[in-house]
Amino acid sequence: MDRSIVVDVRENTWPGPGHLPTFPSTFHSGVETHQINFPSTLLLIGYLTTPTSSTGVSLSEFWAWVRYLAAVTDDQDLRLTQSFADLDAHQKTILSDDFGMGIPMNWLGQRLRFSQIVDGRYFMQRIAASLGVSQRRTAKRGPNKTPDFVARDTSDVWHIIECKGTQSGSGYGESQLGDYGPPASGGIAQKRSIEFPDGYAGQRLVCGLCIGLENGDPSRMTVIDPKLDEPFRLDSSQLELADDAAARGVMSKALRLAGFEATAEATAAPLGNHPGARRSRVRRVEEERENYVNLRNERARAELSLDKPSGKGGFQVRELNFTLPRSIFIGEEEISRVIVRQAMNKDFLARLSEQPTISDPIFGAYLETPVNKMSSATNGDERTATFGIGDLFWSELILD
């Protein structure tokens, strides 16, 4: 299920020769048409929209595969069916947000070779907690929000990414990308929050996806590099904090997708019930915190000790089968069921069961290959798609 999209990369928004960041050699300049594999994008949407730190079941773990498979037409390029285009405003916004993250991150990941992708808000919360300070920028919306994603590539370079999606046409899409102002607006204003030291700072991107509609214009993605303004700066001595935040974010999402909710929570928020939790000098407050952590560790150990299928190839596998609300067609072949497999490294789970919570930096713990040395990748063809994170986690989607 490959679909084409128009990709407009505006090289003139980069600083130019002699200035950083340089324009990536893997990017084209101007407008080109590119193929994306839609099932692998759905797997990535499921991963990206799974909360790093929360309680309760997240529908994002399941609904992308069931609902969105029927959202696109049989056209060679990516378009929404009329029935999905006619959804109420709230549902359209959710779909636009999901596609607006999944498609750009899939395209970027193939060109920048991401090893880790972590929520920007979580990343900042963990660093603030490690520094023992209050987070400066915590807004979920508006000009002070943190960027959607912080992504590290296989060369240990960090990238800052803000994603936008809309079904409202190219004019609204341009407004979402934003304007330098003053005051700055849109994505330009909303991703100006983190700066890495020289040698570790990569791209700072705003990606806008205008989703094509049936019998309308094709889908179009625009990529720009706006300027930073008053960012939160990390120096070289604080890169270990960035390593730890990214590793925890990746491990937590993978654990939650594989069905280990309590363990994911212990990984994401080691010192309490939220990522920014810290030890307290107030005895009563500290005792409450310790009791919470100890109780959660018990829940995590119980969760990890449950009898589960034996798995394969050193991985513990969870398989889910979904009957589609209505069949879809690939050519003339009818697809009525989706099989999703999600797998975690069994050695990793065994070590977690011994010590679910580690408050010290975690990126080198639990696995022979540190999480910061793993690579993330999506692949797919007409009937199958995969998403993997090194030897930590893999997921597979099969159209049946």
- Looking at 11-15, 144-148, 279-283, 338-342, which range is the least confident one? 144-148
Q: Which of 386, 380, 373 is nearest to 250 (CA)?
A: 373
Measured distance CA(104)–CA(38) in Å, rounded: 12
- Domain segments of the chain as ranges: 2-399
Mean pLDDT of 16-27: 91
Measured distance CA(195)–CA(137) in Å, rounded: 14
What is the pTM for the complete model shown?
0.86
Q: Which has more pLDDT, 86 or 227?
A: 86
- Is residue 30 scored above 90 in pLDDT? yes
262: number of CA atoms within 13 Å, CB side? 19
Please give the C-alpha separations between residue 380 and each of 38, 44, 287, 385, in angstroms, as whole numbers. Answer: 8, 12, 49, 4
- Is residue 151 scored above 90 in pLDDT? yes
- Is residue 142 scored above 80 in pLDDT? no
Which tokens go with 92? 């359209």
Q: Which of 223, 238, 208, 21 is nearest to 128 (CA)?
A: 238
Measured distance CA(175)–CA(173) in Å, rounded: 5
pLDDT in tens, 349-377: 988 888 888 888 776 667 777 676 778 88
Mean pLDDT of 31-40: 94
Mean pLDDT of 139-152: 70
- Is residue 246 scored above 80 in pLDDT? yes
Highest mean pLDDT among 211-215, 288-292, 323-327: 288-292
- The DSSP annotation for 366-399 comes to SSSS-GGG--EEEEE-SSEEEEEETTTEEEEEEE
- Is residue 343 scored above 70 in pLDDT? yes
Using DSSP's 3-state secondary structure scheme, residue 281 falls into: coil
Measured distance CA(132)–CA(277) in Å, rounded: 10
Given this model, what pLDDT does residue 361 score? 79
Residues 6+ apart with CB under 8 A from 321: 337, 338, 339, 340
Whether 365 contacts 348, CB under 8 Å:
no
- Is residue 186 scored above 90 in pLDDT? no
Measured distance CA(265)–CA(54) in Å, rounded: 7
